[in-house]
Amino acid sequence: MSRHGGSTIRFQLLGPLSIAHGPETVVLKPSKPTSLLAALLLHPNTVVSTAYLLRAVWDEEPPATARAALQTCVLRLRRLFAKYGISATTIEAVPGGYRMHCDTDTLDLVQFRTLAARAGAAAGPGEELYRLREALSLWQGQPLANVASRLLQDDAVPALEQERLRVLERVCDLELAAGNCHQVLVDLYESARRHPVRERFTEQLVEALYRTGRQAEALAEYRTVRDRLRDELGIDPGPGLRRLELAILRAEELAPAPPEPARTAGATAVPALPSGASAPARPPRAAPPVPAFTGRESDRRAMAARLTAPDGPRLVVVSGAPGIGKSALARQTAHEVQESFPGGVFTLRLARPDGTPVAVEEAARLMPEPAAGRRLVVLDGAAGAWQVLPLLSAAEDAAVLVTSRRQLAAVVATHGGAVHRLDVLRSAEAYALLAGLVGAERVAAEPAATRELAAVCGHFPLALRIAAGRLLTRPGLSVAACAAWLAEDPTARLALAEDAGLSVPQVLGRALDALAPGLREAFLRLGARAGAGDPTAGEDESVLEQLVEAGLLEDGPPGPYRMHELLRSYARRRVRTHETTAAAAPR
């Protein structure tokens, strides 16, 4: 990065995307180069794939000449950089994509994460609080407010906000522990109002109000959030809030609790995580159950037996198609076996919200340190053996549970272990999942329609949870009407607008876009051949095996290959969309 007039040029993401040099700050106008710059800055010093950049700039509608247009956007950025004396080599073209070089002096996001990480190694609570406050001061409003990319607004902005909230939670913990209840009330009122389902802020607010002698207001805050959780989500407050209510009703004294050391505060005190990654919060950490989890009994029993075997560490891999419930099974199994791991249960997500893998070096820094007692480490969303193998040595004596679309044969071949390849839920399991999510009474009133809805969802857990979300937010919608509406175009309509992770087209699209072009074309060919005899006839067996490894085909020799109906439906729709777009293109 160059200097301009003696001052370092600085990019700012934690607010409107802007370039600062000296006292001047230039806020960039919404444009495709602005979206491209944001996508690169969100992954500093990391190779950002061309496929991801195309989605970030054009969302789901890239032009036929998108790759050439992307190069034009890069050229326009370099011209903009030249205007401010920034070196053109700041954006580096590398095989498969581009990389942007930034450090604490040139990008506020890097400085924020560095300050937060250093706070975790502070000598005491006072120094930690100072560093975290300094990190929060870098935020200048809604991040990327001037960036038009739907992908970045849906995925990256919420992930950045989660990083800020983790730091703010830790700041409030430290303030309360220091007895600064009055000083922290402003932060807590705003945070509890803006994030009502993030119960920790409400806990902190209730505690601060009670400890400043405002018992009635503390109880009123508790009851407000309790009613909201019951009315909107159908759940009760967590144990922390319930304990606070009981303490207030009993007029117990709440002494300031000493803050836990930052190095054991994990994601709260060290939010220098890549977007989408998470580290343990307070070892040993409890693993909560998965809401309404159902089925997979034989897998759960076998996985539990292997993970808790007394004769040493164990490795279990859960693989299968996108959206088939790998992460949910891993989380539920971790919950059921956690009593066997006194050293704690730790989860590390190996994929960011946009689906790109976390670098091995970053993941290694987030691995839990050795602790007294046996531990369970869950590595969620591994992209391949290359990402898992270096982390196993850091796991040492821990049992390891890995989820991946791939079967990770190289991992189990070198380290032993078992692979559980998941299929879709059985019909009765899918029915039970809908009943657990939507409510037994509502489902019992329309049993045939519920079974039809499960079939429309292909018995995929992800699709079933999306359908349940639609029913829960529309109390007047019948199950039959929901099933009929979804059946018209399931792979387009099985999506919740506010969360890209709860979207069948997004999840399947990312899985497909991650493939090499030849494999992607083979998958689409297979999906388009439904009902035409053996759809795999004439396909190279090595290609078919790679699609099995990627979680997009099932079985194979000695039996036939098969494709799940939901994936087949998605393939057909993607082929139709491509053909329609090509036909409409100017000639």
What is the C-alpha separation between 333 and 315, in angstroms, rounded? 13
Please write down the HEC assignment for all residues of 285-309: CCCCCCCCCCCCHHHHHHHHHHHCC
How far is CA 550 from each of CA 9, 321, 389, 416, 421, rounded to the nearest angstrom?
42, 8, 18, 21, 12
Distance (Å, whole) CA 237 – CA 246 = 13
The whole-angstrom separation of Cα 474 and Cα 424 is: 26
Return the residue matching tokens 């934690």.
14
Q: Specify the DSSP class assigned to residue 107.
A: B
What is the distance between the alpha carbons of residues 184 and 172, in angstroms, rounded to a whole number?
A: 6
In our burial notation (b when 16+ CB lie closer than 10 A, e otherwise), range 162-185 reads bbbbbbbbbbbbbbbebeebeebb
SS3 97: strand
The C-alpha atoms of residue 102 and residue 48 are separated, in whole angstroms, by 14
Helix 461-473 to helix 504-513 angle (10° resolution) is: 150
Give the amino acid at 93: A
Sheet holding 3-4, edge to edge: 3-4, 7-12, 18-21, 24-27
Residues 364, 394: Cα–Cα separation, whole Å: 7
Pick from 156, 155, 127: which is nearest to 44 by CA? 156
The answer to whether residues 449 and 418 touch, using CB atoms and an 8 Å cutoff, is no
Q: What angle do CA 376, 380, 384 make, to 5 degrees?
A: 115
* Residue among 255, 273, 249, 277 nearest 211 (CA): 255
Angle between helices 504-513 and 517-528 (to 10 degrees): 130
Helical H segments across 1-124, by residue range: 32-41, 50-58, 66-83, 108-120
Assign 3-class secondary structure to 143-155. CCCCCCCHHHHHH
d(CA 338, CA 331): 10
Element (H, E) at 528: helix 517-528
Distance between CA atoms of 505 and 502, rounded to whole angstroms?
A: 9
Per-residue pLDDT tens digits of the chain, which is 587 residues long: 444 444 578 899 998 999 887 667 888 899 999 999 999 999 998 898 988 899 899 987 777 888 888 999 999 998 888 887 787 678 888 888 999 988 888 899 999 999 888 887 777 888 888 889 889 988 988 899 899 998 899 888 988 998 999 999 999 988 888 888 887 887 888 888 888 778 889 899 999 888 888 888 888 888 888 888 888 778 888 888 888 888 888 777 776 655 555 433 333 332 333 333 333 333 345 577 887 888 899 999 999 999 998 876 789 999 999 999 999 999 999 989 988 988 888 888 888 766 778 888 878 877 877 767 888 999 999 998 999 998 888 777 789 999 999 888 888 888 888 999 999 999 999 999 999 888 888 999 999 999 999 999 999 999 999 998 888 878 889 999 999 999 998 888 888 765 666 788 888 888 888 888 888 888 888 888 765 556 677 778 888 888 888 888 887 666 678 888 888 888 888 888 765 444 444 44
| Helical axes 66-83 vs 32-41, angle rounded to 10° | 80
Give the length of the chain: 587
- Whether the upstream peptide bond of residue 505 has omega within 30° of 0, thus cis, is no
